[in-house]
Chain A
């Protein structure tokens, strides 16, 4: 059964770097890996996307190893406002072809 796996929760303090890893063993060859952030009562919001190696934007970095079976979202110097649920989204191979699969989400709690 195609699926992705993320830690259920993580705790951090303000100013620290947070790394959240998602495993996706059956990722489709041509599909990208996308990470989303979700606050309560809102829909997921795009953070970053990559295909391989490393991608960096103004809010995060994404590290993807050569086999692309996992990816790590890196949030530098988190603040209280980064407390949210973080999801990875990938296309994975299944019996029907390719399916879009969300991870179950990682609840990040940032404390002062």
Chain B
């Protein structure tokens, strides 16, 4: 069974540009999560989808970030326009259980390392 995949693995862009990150969850997993780790800080929750609906987006830092999950399969996270402080590693995770809490076993992708210059 394929795990969670993320694309690209690395992205280097200039301040003000737009970047779109993609996450393909494990097939059949309704829950999809986005996290971010900024250098030297902890992994922070961004948002949680249940199928195509945003269950919790309380961790999204500001309106420059837009997450979508059309059709309830893969998800994209767009940053527009990117700022220097957006640099970090963006992780995606998926889970099968319906609780959508830390009760679920989340399976993580390898992450996308974003560098904004």
Stretch at the interface among A13-21, A41-49, A62-70, A74-82: A41-49
A98 contacts which of B44, B59, B91, B101 (Cβ < 8 Å)? Answer: B101
A103–B107 Cα gap in the complex (Å)? 17
Question: Could you list which residues of chain A lie within 8 angstroms of chain B, going by C-beta atoms?
Answer: 28, 30-34, 36, 41-46, 49, 87, 89-91, 96, 98-105
B114 at the interface (CB under 8 A from A): no
16 A–B pairs (Cβ distance < 8 Å), ordered by A: A32-B101, A32-B103, A34-B102, A43-B91, A43-B93, A43-B109, A43-B110, A44-B43, A44-B93, A45-B108, A46-B105, A46-B107, A49-B105, A89-B102, A102-B42, A104-B42
User: In the complex, what residue of chain B is closest to A49 when comparing beta carbons?
Assistant: B105
- The prevalent SS among residues of B at the interface is loop
**Are B43 and A30 in contact, CB atoms less than 8 angstroms apart?**
no
- The prevalent SS among residues of A at the interface is strand
Query: With A90-B102, A96-B58 in contact, do A44 and B108 touch (Cβ < 8 Å)?
Result: yes
4 further A-B pairs in the complex, CB-CB below 8 A; given A28-B102, A89-B102, A102-B45:
A43-B109, A43-B111, A44-B91, A99-B45
A36–B35 Cα gap in the complex (Å)? 14
User: In the complex, what residue of chain A is closest to B9 when comparing beta carbons?
Assistant: A41
